[in-house]
Structure 1
Amino acid sequence: MDRILKSISFIFHPLFMPLAGVGFYFYISPRFTPGEIIYAKLISLAILTIILPVLIYFLLKTLGKIQTVYLRTTNERILPLALNCVIILIVMLRILVQSQFEELYFFFVGILISTITCLILAIFQFKASIHMIAISGLFMFFIALSIHFNININDILALMCIINGAIATSRLHVKAHTYIELIMGFFVGVLPQLILVNYWL
C-alpha cells in the first residue's frame, strides 16, 4: 500500500495534466480536426509542458536554486512557477490560439491563473498542493466539456473523483502537505476553470 500511494503522486504528476486535458478534448470533440494537426499539437505540448520543465529542473538543480524534485519549501517553488507561467503563455500564443481552439485556449488561461495564484501564495510562504491544483482543474475542465458537447462521460467523471481522492491521500501519506494546503490547492485549480466557463461554454 505504501508503494501504491507513493506511486500515485508520480503517475498523476502535474506536468502530465495539461497534455491529458488536450488529448481528452481531441478524443471527445465532435469537431473534425485533421490527424496531423492533432499530432503536431500534442507533440508540441509534450515538449513545452513536460520535456522543457524537466530540463529546467535539472538546470536549476545544477545552479543550486532547488534541492529536490519535490520543491519542499516555498522559496524553491517561486522560480519554477514563474518559468512555468512563461511556458503557458507560449502555449496560449503559439500552440493553442483562441481563434482555432477556444476551449483549449481558456483551459490554459485557467492553468495560468492557477499557476500565478500558486506563485503568489508561495511568495507569501503558503505551499498549496500543485498536484491538487492540476487534477482539480482538469476535473472541472472535463465537466465543462461534457456540458459543452452534450455528451455523457459520467464514468470518466466518477473516475476523476476517485483520482482526486487518491492524490489527496497520497500527498498526505508522504507528508508533503497538510489538509489546508490540499483544500486550497483544490479550489485554486477549480475556481479559475469554473469562472472561465462563462467565456466559452
Structure 2
Amino acid sequence: MRFHKIISVILHPIVIPTIGVLLYFLLVPNTIQKQLQLTILGLVFVVTYLIPVLLLAVLKAIGSIESYHVTTIKERKIPLAFMMVLFYLLGSTLIKLRSVSDLGILFYATSLGIVLVYVLFLTKLKTSLHLLSMGIAVGFFLLIQNNYGISFFPIIAVSILFSGLLGSARLHLKAHTPFEVYSGFIIGFLCPYFVNAFL
C-alpha cells in the first residue's frame, strides 16, 4: 500500500509537466540559451504546480473540496476547468516562441486532454488524470522522435514502464476502475498527435 501511494505522489499529474519540459530541454537538440530554458521551466512550474496547489488550498479552505485528493467528479470540476484554461494559455504563449513551439503542442495537448476528461464527466466516468498525464508524455516524446528522427527509446520505454506501475498503483488504491485507467492513458497518448495534425 505504501509503495502505491508513493508512486502516485511522485508521478502526480501536476509534477509531470515540469519533468516533461526538463527532459525536453535535456534530450532534444536545441540552441535555446540556458537562461531562457530556466525561465520557461520556472514558468511551467509556477503555472502547472504552484498555482494548482494554491487553488486546491483555497477550495479546501472554503469547503468546496474535502481533501487535496479531489476523489469525486464533483470536486474535480472547478480545478480541472481552471487547469484547462491555464494549460491553453501556456500553450498559446509557448507556441509563439519558434525555438520551443514543440512545448506549445505539449500544453495544447494537455488542455485538450482535460477537456475530454471533463466531457466524460457527463457519463459519470472519472478518467485517471495520472494516466492521462503519462499518456501525454509518451505520445509527446514519440511525436518528437518522429519529427526529429532522433531515438528517444530509453525515455519512452521508461515512461511506459512507469505508466504500468502507476496504473497498477491507482487500481490497487481503488482510485479508479480499469477502464478509467486505460482510457486516461489512451486519451493522453492520442492528444499530442491530434493537436500536431491541426497546427
| TM-score category of the 2 structures, normalised to the smaller one | over 0.9
Number of equivalences = 198
Distance in 1 between the 2:42 and 2:179 partners?
36
| Aligned residue in 2 for 1:185 | 184
| Aligned residue in 2 for 1:148 | 147
Summarize deviations over 1:90-132 as a string: whole Å, max 9, x none.
31233x1334222111111111110111112224421000001
What residue identity is the alignment partner of 1:154? F
Summarize deviations over 1:137-164 as a string: whole Å, max 9, x none.
1011111122222222222221111101
CA contact (8 A) 1:168 1:182 kept: yes
SS in 1 for 2:175: coil
Of 28-37 and 167-176, deviating more is: 28-37
Of 83-92 and 170-179, deviating more is: 83-92
| Aligned residue in 1 for 2:28 | 29
Query: Structure 1 stretches (4+) deviating beyond 6 angstroms?
Result: none
Q: Summarize the alignment of residues 1-201 of structure 1 with structure 2, pairs less than 5 Å apart.
A: 2-94=1-93, 96-100=94-98, 101-199=100-198
Distance in 2 between the 1:82 and 1:139 partners?
24
Of 187-196 and 176-185, deviating more is: 187-196
**Which segments of 5 or more consecutive residues in structure 1 lack a partner in the other structure?**
none
CA contact (8 A) 2:7 2:169 kept: yes
Summarize deviations over 1:46-70 as a string: whole Å, max 9, x none.
1111001000000001111111122
RMSD across aligned C-alpha pairs, in angstroms?
1.5
What residue identity is the alignment partner of 2:181? L
Distance in 2 between the 1:38 and 1:62 partners?
35
State percent identity of aligned pairs: 27
What residue identity is the alignment partner of 2:16? M
Per the normalisation by structure 1, the TM-score is 0.92
CA contact (8 A) 2:47 2:86 kept: yes
Of 191-200 and 35-44, deviating more is: 191-200
Displacement of 1:194 in angstroms is 2.3
Distance in 2 between the 1:109 and 1:87 partners?
10
Per the normalisation by structure 2, the TM-score is 0.93
Distance in 1 between the 2:196 and 2:63 partners?
40
Summarize deviations over 1:133-188 as a string: whole Å, max 9, x none.
00111011111122222222222221111101000000011100001111111122
**Which segments of 5 or more consecutive residues in structure 2 lack a partner in the other structure?**
none
CA contact (8 A) 2:95 2:105 kept: no
Task: Note closer, same or farther for the CA distance 1:137–1:126 as it changes in structure 2 (3 Å cut).
Answer: same
What residue identity is the alignment partner of 2:133? A
Of 152-161 and 174-183, deviating more is: 152-161
